[in-house]
Homo-oligomer: A and B are copies of this chain.
Amino acid sequence: MSPAAAAPALEELLERLADARQRVAGVAHRTPVATSRTLDARVGCRVFLKCENLQRMGAFKFRGAYNTLSRLPDEARRHGVVAYSSGNHAQAVALVARLLEIPATIVMPSTAPALKLDATRDYGAEVVFYDRAGEEREAMAERLAGERGLTLIPPFDHPDIVAGQGTAAAELFEQAGPLDVLLVPVGGGGLIAGAALAARLLRPACRVIGVEPEAGDDGARSFREGRIVRAPCGETIADGARTPSVGRLNFEIIRACVSDMITATDAELKRAMRFVMERLKLVVEPTGVLGLAPLLSGRLAPAGERIGVILSGGNVDLTQAAEWFAETPRE
């Protein structure tokens, strides 16, 4: 798969989203939408939290992976797929490949945590390590694809990935009723591109706003400068949003359909995580609360509106989270 080789027109993307909804129905969880009077009183608007932390393998990534792999022709399925990721995309591709009986190879850093390594292998994928100091993981995955005839499943910059991720926001629009604003975590931009397409299709009046970690604000800078800014991500606990740049296709969709891009600090993410876990009883990962943090911190104060937020994932080390909370004031 060559990412965004010929960027499809908006109309074609909207059709792919509609098709993706059919494909994931009954396979991906239609995750619940959580609401909280305490949260609403705290931030002064009605908030609808789309719980993708309760998605299969614990993150929205299942949707894009399923949509993409389910569209592969038989020939490609027989040869198998390859993906590079140390995080949720790896587990998503591994799980979906098992469901569809497609051989999967995952390129992971040799320093990946044992927990994520085990989870990926438990799903039956072959894990190939790369050395951070040596060959780039993307190059290694491409080399494997070429040598073994595998189809490379990119983590975010592909129309099928985008369409799959967009099914989360599409469900939210149906579940929550009219939304004025939708807040979405941004790493490589697959989730927000899909969410923006869903808004265009189902609720064009809704403003879609992306949220990045402050230490990795390449997307916000790209949005302001009107060109893709590539910058290595600084230190942040939002490990799912450490991409150095948004994808090319995704940037086109962001430019066309997204209203704004803002950031959240690690301290704000920790406070938001603590609030969600202590008050809403939901386990979320740092990247997962990017959309909520600006509301709780007051950076964004859309008084009286109906706000959708995608809680994108819940794969976090609980011991690590408890350590963060020990140094974090309660909201």
Contact = CB atoms under 8 A, between A and B. Distances in A.
Question: Which of A34, A37, A283, A284 has the most C-beta atoms of chain B within 10 angstroms of its own C-beta?
Answer: A283
Contact of A281 (B278, B283, B319, B325): B283
Nearest to A54: B281
Given A32-B32, A282-B282, A283-B282, A277 B318 contact: yes
A281 B32 contact: no
Interface in A293-322: 314, 318-319, 321-322
Q: Looking at chain A's contact residues, is the secondary structure mostly helix, strand, loop, or mixed?
A: helix
Given A32-B32, A278-B318, 11 more contacts: A54-B281, A274-B318, A277-B283, A277-B318, A282-B283, A283-B283, A318-B322, A318-B325, A319-B325, A319-B326, A322-B323
A34 B53 CA distance: 12
Interface of A: 32, 34, 37, 53-54, 56, 58, 274, 277-278, 280-284, 314, 318-319, 321-323, 325-326
Nearest to A276: B283
A115 to B, nearest CB: 9
Contact of A58 (B58, B274, B281, B319): B281
27 contacts: A32-B32, A34-B54, A37-B56, A54-B280, A54-B281, A58-B281, A274-B318, A277-B283, A277-B318, A278-B283, A278-B318, A281-B282, A281-B283, A281-B284, A281-B314, A282-B282, A282-B283, A318-B318, A318-B321, A318-B322, A318-B325, A319-B322, A319-B325, A319-B326, A321-B322, A322-B322, A322-B323
A117 to B, nearest CB: 14
A282 B326 CA distance: 20
A216 to B, nearest CB: 24
A54 B319 CA distance: 22
A44 to B, nearest CB: 18
A274 B319 CA distance: 11
Q: Which 3 A-B pairs have the closest CB atoms?
A: A322-B322, A281-B314, A281-B283
A94 to B, nearest CB: 14
Contacts of A314: 281
Contacts of A54: 34, 280-281
Contacts of A323: 322
Contacts of A326: 319
A287 to B, nearest CB: 14
Contacts of A281: 53-54, 58, 282-284, 314
A37 B98 CA distance: 14
Contacts of A278: 283, 318
Contacts of A34: 54
A283 to B, nearest CB: 4
A53 B279 CA distance: 10
